[in-house]
Amino acid sequence: MSNYEKELSIALKAAKKAGDYLVQRSNLHVDSQEGKDIKLAADRESESIIVDILSQTGFPILSEECGATEEIDWKKNYWIVDPIDGTVNYFRRLEGLSCVSIALWNNDQPILGVVNRFELDQVFTGVVGYGAFLNGEPIKTSAMKYISQAILTTGFPVGCDYSSKSLQAFIKQAQRFKKVRMLGTAALMGALVASGQVDAYIEDDIMLWDIAAAAAIVLSAGGEFIYRPFADNKCQCRLFASKMLAEEYDAEII
Output the pLDDT for position 169.
81
Output the pLDDT for position 241.
98
Output the pLDDT for position 166.
78
How many other CB atoms are there within 10 angstroms of residue 224's CB atom? 20
Output the pLDDT for position 252.
63
Question: Is the same domain home to 81 and 182?
Answer: no
Output the pLDDT for position 1.
54
Residue 67 lies in domain: 5-139
Judge whether residue 231 has pLDDT over 90. yes
- Model pTM score: 0.93
- Return d(Cα 193, Cα 189) in angstroms, integer: 7
Question: Is the same domain home to 133 and 154?
Answer: no
H/E run at residue 244:
helix 243-253
Output the pLDDT for position 168.
87
Torsion sign, CA atoms 131, 135, 141, 147? negative
- Each residue of 19-71: pLDDT tens digit? 999 999 876 878 767 666 778 999 999 999 999 999 999 999 999 888 898 88
Question: Is the same domain home to 188 and 71?
Answer: no
Q: Three-class SS of residue 178?
A: coil
Final residue of a structural domain among 81, 114, 139: 139
Question: Is the same domain home to 177 and 209?
Answer: yes
Output the pLDDT for position 27.
66
Question: Is the same domain home to 124 and 207?
Answer: no
Cα dist. 218→39, 40, 128, 142, 153 in Å?
28, 29, 9, 11, 14
- Each residue of 163-213: pLDDT tens digit? 888 788 888 888 999 999 999 999 999 999 999 999 999 999 899 999 999
Question: Is the same domain home to 91 and 133?
Answer: yes
Question: Is the same domain home to 221 and 176?
Answer: yes
Torsion sign, CA atoms 51, 69, 230, 156? positive
Single-letter amino acid code for the residue at 80: I
Question: Is the same domain home to 126 and 212?
Answer: no
Question: Is the same domain home to 12 and 133?
Answer: yes
Could you tell me the CATH number of the domain that includes residue 183?
A: 3.40.190.80
H/E run at residue 41:
helix 41-54
Question: Is the same domain home to 129 and 32?
Answer: yes
Compute φ and ψ for 31, nearest 5 degrees: -80, -40
Final residue of a structural domain among 139, 161, 185: 139
Question: Is the same domain home to 111 and 131?
Answer: yes
Judge whether residue 2 has pLDDT over 80. no
- Each residue of 68-100: pLDDT tens digit? 988 899 899 999 999 999 999 999 999 999 999
- Return d(Cα 139, Cα 144) in angstroms, integer: 15
Query: How many structural domains comprise the chain?
Result: 2
Question: Is the same domain home to 12 and 127?
Answer: yes
Final residue of a structural domain among 139, 173, 200: 139
Judge whether residue 254 has pLDDT over 50. no
